Chain A
Amino acid sequence: MSASTQLPIRVLIKGASTVVFIAEMGGPRSDFTFGRVIERELTRAGRPADVRVSGVPSAHAKHSLRTWERDLIGWWPDVIVLHHGHYESIHFFLPRWLERHANSTRWRPTRPNKLYRKLILRPTWVTLAKLQSRLDRRSNSLLFARKLRRVANDVERLINRVRQPDGPLVLVLEVVPPGRRWQSWFPGLVERTAYVNQQLEAVVRRVDLPNVKYVRTVPTLAAELDSDEEPTPDGGHYSARAHQVLGELLSREILEWGATH
């Protein structure tokens, strides 16, 4: 009989494109998202890990709430990383269904589809995005702050679903402000990001459990990256280096928590 095997730490990461995309697409396989960095860091530390990423582009916190039963019950992870609030703060008023339709990567490359997207959808989308950008600059960026408060409510409800005295470690990530490239398209995004971060931090304070933490990502990224290096060079998605830094930050949190459990 072979030697006994250590039980892996189960980590579930939930979020939108921020958790699954790297700003520099098409790079080498060693460009990891932070989920895989966590897995590598845990295995490097001699802890077997089972890391699952339940994230798709443009996923809302409410979608995570909808899928929590499927993602959690049965598998019941030791650590849950929640990275929500980014997508919800991007657009001033354009609806998600339109954004998903316009920027979908799941359409079939048939001729009518290509023509429709090139001649109708793309110009319409770009016009609306420009209009949104102008309105966002002129009006109060937090005019629709209700939807950002809803993100916090959804995250709180999600935490309450897994809330137990000795429940899983829940890490709620701070949303990083947009890079330069997105600031002209979404002039109010900086304010909205700050607002959603306040709301998320308030949720963690309200829950007030030692195993539910708000993880400040911005100071660590600022300390680790070079002074002229943007964490989100494409405007909204972490660079490979930023993913690396975040993965290391989170794996340290997980290892510290794992040492006491």
Chain B
Amino acid sequence: MPSPLPNPIKILVKGASTVGWSGTMNGPRTDFGFPRAMEEALLKSGRPVELRTLSVASERTKTAVHRWERELVGYSPDVIVLVYGHYETVHLILPWWLERHANSLTVPPRRWSTIYRNRILRPIWMTLAKLQSRLDTAIDPTFRRRHKKVVVDLEKIIGHTQELHTPLVVLFELIHPAKRYQSWFPGMARRIDVMNDAIESLVRQLDLPNVRYFRVGELVDKYADGDLEVATPDGFHYSPDLHRKIGEHLAREVAEWADTQGHLQFDTKPTRVLGVRPADRAG
């Protein structure tokens, strides 16, 4: 008879490019994103894990509301990590569809498409981005109040997750852009501050032991001396080292929570024989 195996912790990590992208791409295979670093840390501690990561560039919180059923209901994860609100802080006025169109990574390399992108789209996009950058210093960078919509959307997703039998939900603190993007998005740091306050307030207001706020800023201070150039070498995305540290810290938090969950303890109870009522078995 084979030995019983433990029940894996099911983890879903969802978010925009911050989740899957690294500040220095093209590195070795050991440059893990934080979800895989977390998986590795949990496996090393002897806990089986089933990890799914859904990371789509420029994904907004409202898209997560539209997709939650398909992505969460069937899988029913024990732990849900939501890294949202970042994209909504990037642009002051430029719309999502135009940004996706201009910076698309999925366009097939056809001759006319390349000409259109190089000669028409790119110059228009750059002009609009420069105009936006100027505006971002001239007006209140938070005038669109996007943080309110993000929080309402997150609250809705969290509400649904709690119906799925109270998994651990972790929301991420966002970090400021590094120097490279500060001139392009002068108001982004202010928007991120407002967004972080709003997300943290949501977690406080929900006041649930299984809904938590994960402070990335503290890790930047601890492991990169607060230097954003080190923490996010490309200006936006975590460095491989920061990904690893985030993964390790998250793994610790997940492991602590898993210790309190009966179904994630090693269980050797034999399978019941069906067709007999519990009452009949008792007597």
Contacts and interface: CB of A to CB of B under 8 A. Distances in A.
Contacts of B7: 39-40, 43
Nearest to A49: B5
The range of chain B's interface size is 35 or more
A89 B252 CA distance: 47
A224 interface: yes
B223 interface: no
B271 A45 contact: yes
Interface stretch (A23-31, A115-123, A134-142): A23-31
B181 interface: no
A53 B75 contact: yes
Contact of A43 (B4, B67, B165, B278): B4
Interface string B135-167: 000000000000001001101100010111111
Contact of B269 (A30, A35, A44): A44
B262 A30 contact: yes
A225 B279 CA distance: 10
Contacts of B149: 108, 110
Contact of B2 (A21, A35, A36, A45): A45
Contacts of B68: 105-106
B115 interface: no
A21 B69 CA distance: 11
Q: Is the interface of B mostly helix, strand, loop or mixed?
A: loop
Contacts of B78: 29
B270 interface: yes
16 contacts: A21-B73, A28-B166, A40-B7, A41-B271, A43-B4, A46-B1, A46-B5, A53-B74, A55-B73, A56-B74, A106-B67, A107-B65, A223-B276, A224-B274, A245-B274, A252-B274
Interface string B53-80: 0000000001001111110011110100
A138 B192 CA distance: 60
A227 B62 CA distance: 45
Nearest to B275: A223
B121 to A, nearest CB: 30
A22 B163 CA distance: 9
Contact of B163 (A19, A26, A36, A248): A26
A13 to B, nearest CB: 8
A235 interface: no
A167 interface: no
A226 B277 contact: yes
Given A30-B262, A56-B73, A220-B275, A46 B4 contact: yes
Interface of B: 1-7, 62, 65-70, 73-76, 78, 149, 152-153, 155-156, 160, 162-167, 261-264, 267-272, 274-279
Interface string A9-23: 000000000011110
A106 B274 contact: no
A29 B263 contact: yes
Contacts of A41: 271
Interface string A41-70: 101111110001111110000000000000
Nearest to B1: A46
Nearest to A36: B76
A109 interface: yes
B171 to A, nearest CB: 17
A33 interface: yes
A29 B261 contact: yes
B69 A106 contact: yes
A27 to B, nearest CB: 5
A32 interface: yes
A74 B272 CA distance: 34
Given A26-B162, A31-B165, A54-B74, A223 B271 contact: no
Contacts of A225: 277
A249 interface: yes
Given A54-B74, A248-B272, A251-B271, 18 more contacts: A20-B73, A28-B165, A29-B263, A30-B262, A39-B7, A43-B7, A44-B267, A44-B270, A45-B2, A45-B4, A45-B271, A53-B74, A56-B70, A106-B66, A106-B67, A109-B152, A224-B278, A249-B274
Contacts of B263: 29-30, 32, 40
B251 to A, nearest CB: 18
